[in-house]
A and B are shown apart, each in its own frame.
Chain A
Amino acid sequence: MIAIGLESSANKLGVGIIRHPDDGSTPQVLSNVRHTYVTPPGEGFLPKDTARHHRAWVVKLVKKALREARVLPRDIDCVCFTKGPGMGAPLQSAAITARMLSLLWGKELVGVNHCVGHIEMGRLITGATNPVVLYVSGGNTQVIAYSSQRYRIFGETLDIAVGNCLDRFARTLHISNDPAPGYNIEQLAKKGKRLVDLPYTVKGMDISMSGILAAIDGLAVQYGLDGEGKDDEEDDASSEKPTRADLCFSLQETIYSMLVEITERAMAHVGSKEVLIVGGVGCNERLQEMMGIMARDRGGTVHATDERFCIDNGIMIAQAGLLAYKAGVPTPLKESTCTQRFRTDDVFVKWRD
């Protein structure tokens, strides 16, 4: 069976085509194309503009995906789209496109939970069977473990997402959004050495990020490191003053420690030795490294994917959608809406034991 997936919940527009061979062998990614709406430094992406970008690109991407996959519309079994969570206007671009394709091609629709898409793609790529999942992106921060037909949320952010915190700090420093603000923070952090004191806000299984953002923003202003046209100055080891790199370094060290801590707690709780990191922030090598140290100490392993599958993409929607479709849960046209709020644990995971 073949599914096409459309993803547009944030600033990435992605289209992917996956094939599940009838003999039950490993699914094949036939194509996975993406176009990102990149804003100038210091600016975030607004829903309206993002949606406009997606609308302008979606037809091109669908055509490109079909071409690369060397399939025709008639080969496709179902059209999958992100139902939520995400930003309203951008979400609608994919939902409307999917409905159109469904009617045009006469194929069934499958609405997919974005978080479940990440989890299923991560499991497919890494081969992790039943891991504790850390899902970290611009809009989501959750520690998830599977139990009786649900992906249950063990811990999550109480306010903003990890990626949102990084993106907004990148804006404060006027760091480029190309290819992604988090990526550029990571590169800058590699030059950082001094750890500045930031709030560390783990609350049981949950974490809170807004106070950390306020604190690091405050430090940037205090040391005159915010705003446009600041070079990444040479580090003066004798100086007490932190550099931009030091701030990025400290921010990463602090929030990634929090993420690893709650993940470890979930692992101890469910007795799992595997961790799977998904979501855009999951590409971060320092996060993967820290998680790896923790997992090794517990006699376990960490699984992560590269930017093709970590960052929002269409193929993960196709994968999760096809699993649902094969388990017999398509989405009738009338219900093919999208929603900004859609909890991971609302999804009935019929395709797993």
Chain B
Amino acid sequence: MELITQGAEAHLYKTTYLTPSTPAALKIRPSKPYRHPILDRRLTRQRVLQEARCLVRLVREGVNVPAVLAVDWELRDNSSSGGEANGNGNGYAAGAGNGAWILMEWIDGVMLKEVFRAWEGYVKSRTGLSDAEREGEEGKVKCLLRRIGVAVGLLHKAGVVHGDLTTSNLILKSQAAQTNGVDGDGDGKGEVGTVSPHMEGEIVLIDFGLASQSIQDEDRAVDLYVLERAFGSTHPRTERFFGEVLEGYRGSYRGAGSVMKRLEDVRMRGRKRSMIG
């Protein structure tokens, strides 16, 4: 198994499912030894299940997310050995240790973060672009932004909020991701600036670790706000087109309008709170 990322909560590996030729993503939530074991089990189980439930629901609703292939929501107790088949309690793949896990469909593609980064690099390096070329480039990126808005809209329409929308959690599923000016490994060290990146393909939403089922305007608006702020901090040259995301969102489902109104409130509120106990 190849370790892809290691966050505070989970480790993500690339592995296979059923056959060696079917790639899959394995997200393991390891036990947290600092927590009381009862609390640890309860929380790990809750979170693995919450994420899996959201994904299963979204797949059923036809939203582009990785499908759930298998889940194990029980933290294994290292000391027990209850296996009928081979008498060991480790069960699943050695790498899962005693963690709970979700095995998901592997999504081949590029993080949108890398696409935007490549695009911003390209536009920056091409000072000699003609107006028509520049317009073409901007049109291309605007179209992608609108599709992001639609993807988020369909997510919300299906009754799920993501909880952590950033351009790292949006994947451009591409036919030839590796050859279009974006480094397919997603480490951002690829050659940037020579070619305008490819922007065709489906957008897939990933990492539902903080997702929940909700149809509240507030939760939906916060999703948009988080994405907006992510653009602000990560893609300064693309941020001015963020309106396109909202345009795409607005048209994607009934109810988007009132979420947009709520977004205004959320923006005003920001993060400034009093700190009085």
Give the B-binding residues of A (Cβ under 8 A).
Answer: 85, 138-140, 142, 153, 156, 158, 160-161, 163-164, 195, 197, 200, 204, 253-254, 257, 260-261, 264-265, 267-269, 290-291, 293-294, 297, 340-343
Contact = CB atoms under 8 A, between A and B. Distances in A.
Interface in B159-218: 163-164, 210
Contact of A204 (B34, B35, B210, B276): B210
Give 9 closest A-B pairs by Cβ, nearest first.
Answer: A164-B277, A268-B8, A293-B34, A161-B277, A290-B34, A139-B277, A264-B8, A265-B8, A253-B36
Nearest to B36: A253
B272 interface: yes
Interface in B1-35: 7-9, 32-35
B33 A297 contact: yes
B249 to A, nearest CB: 21
6 contacts: A85-B275, A200-B43, A261-B32, A265-B9, A294-B34, A297-B34
Contact of B36 (A153, A257, A265): A257
B275 A341 contact: yes
Contact of A343 (B35, B163, B210, B275): B275
B273 interface: yes
- Secondary structure of the B side of the interface? loop
Interface of B: 7-9, 32-36, 38-39, 42-43, 163-164, 210, 271-277
Given A164-B277, A195-B36, 14 more contacts: A138-B277, A139-B275, A139-B276, A140-B277, A153-B271, A156-B273, A195-B39, A204-B164, A257-B35, A265-B9, A269-B8, A290-B35, A341-B274, A343-B275
A260 B7 CA distance: 15
Nearest to A85: B275
Contacts of A160: 277
A158 B275 CA distance: 9
Contacts of A257: 32, 34-36, 39, 43
A85 B276 contact: yes
Nearest to B271: A153
Contact of B277 (A163, A204, A267, A291): A163
Contacts of A200: 39, 42-43
Nearest to B272: A343
Contacts of B9: 265
B8 A341 contact: no
Given A200-B43, A265-B8, A140 B275 contact: yes
A33 B35 CA distance: 36
